[in-house]
Amino acid sequence: CISCSRCEMICPRGAIEMTPRFTISLT
């Protein structure tokens, strides 16, 4: 899932792991 630090907080689309706050997990 695309999330900010955690999968609980979903970020807008396009938010790739460019910053420590944004992380991407396909599971």
Taking all residues of the chain, what is their mean pLDDT, rounded to a whole number?
55
pLDDT computed for residue 27 by the predictor? 47
Going by the DSSP 8-state scheme, the letter that residue 7 receives in this structure is: T
Tens digits of residue pLDDT in 1-27: 555 555 556 656 555 555 555 555 554
What is the rounded distance in angstroms from the CA atom of residue 26 to the CA atom of residue 11?
14
Closest CA to 22 of 2, 1, 8, 13: 2
pLDDT computed for residue 13 by the predictor? 57
pTM of the model: 0.16
| Tokens matching residue 24 | 């991407």
CA 24 to chain centre: 5
